[in-house]
Amino acid sequence: MEVKDKIVIVTGAGSGIGAATAKHFAKHQAIVVVSDIKEEKAQKIAKEILEQGSDATVIAANVTQIDEVEQLITKTVSKYGRLDIMVNNAGIGPKHMTRTADYTLEDWDSVIAVNQTGVFYCMKSALKQMVKQGGGNIVNIASLAGLKASLNNLSYCASKFAVVGMTKSAALEYATKNIRINAVCPGYTESALLDKLLSVRPDMDQRLKSVIPMKRYGQAEEIADAVVWLASDNTKFITGQTITLDGGTSL
């Protein structure tokens, strides 16, 4: 895939899909800025990339803080001169999965802050730079829960529907500016979020796999492959799209 020497920021890159995506970009010879709220996790992923002979640097950032997001972009451009690709992956789930009437304000506020407002801050800041330099590419990590209902998961579902909407709206606005914006919508993928969901009840693993036609969970590397493809020069005529990777669950 054509991403060689592209300057890439991946948020939430310390683990899961973010880590897999950072490493996959590096495998294809991109230059990766590994960003995460937990700097020690980001350092670990960057170290793995460097040990494989690729280029990576760490810039810690909390995506719920606009000043930290702006510093992330500023520091990247100061070091590398530009920002070619922004992958907005940082995301969390609620502490308690429960029905809407019982949903806690803490879970609503925290999930919306990271998953929705955080993506907005990152898009806003990255787009300013991309317009200035004459082009760029953004890939947002949404979810199957951004396309269909997700039981007892209101804030997560709302935030991911928002990411899909923001992706489409911004893609329309910046299509004439040589900036493409797309999203991926993973289904049940092996990650910390899935582990939390599986812990809700003993038969959850069986219940989830029963609705997945492929009868397995996705791998972070499989999602990363789609992200890098969308961000590459192989997909120059694709913008405003949501690519669903769910083993057929949405069918």
Judge whether 200 lies within some domain.
Answer: no
Q: Is residue 81 part of a domain?
A: yes
- Model pLDDT, residue 205: 87
Identify whether 239 is part of a domain: yes
- Considering the domain boundaries, does residue 250 fall inside one? no
Q: What DSSP string runs through the chain?
A: ---TT-EEEETTTTSHHHHHHHHHHHHTT-EEEE--SSHHHHHHHHHHHHHTT--EEE----TT-HHHHHHHHHHHHHHHS---EEEE------SS---GGG--HHHHHHHIIIIIIHHHHHHHHHHHHHHHHT-EEEEEE--GGGTS--TT-HHHHHHHHHHHHHHHHHHHHHGGGTEEEEEEEE-SBSSHHHHHHHTTSTTHHHHHHHT-TTSSPBPHHHHHHHHHHHHSGGGTT--S-EEEESTTTT-
Q: How many domains does the chain have?
A: 1
Task: Tell me which residue range forms the domain holding 113.
Answer: 7-189+220-244
Give the model confidence (pLDDT) of 15-67 as tens digits. 999 999 999 999 999 999 999 999 999 999 999 999 999 999 999 999 999 99
Q: Which residues are catalytic?
A: 156
Say whether pLDDT at 200 is over 80: no
CATH number at residue 14: 3.40.50.720
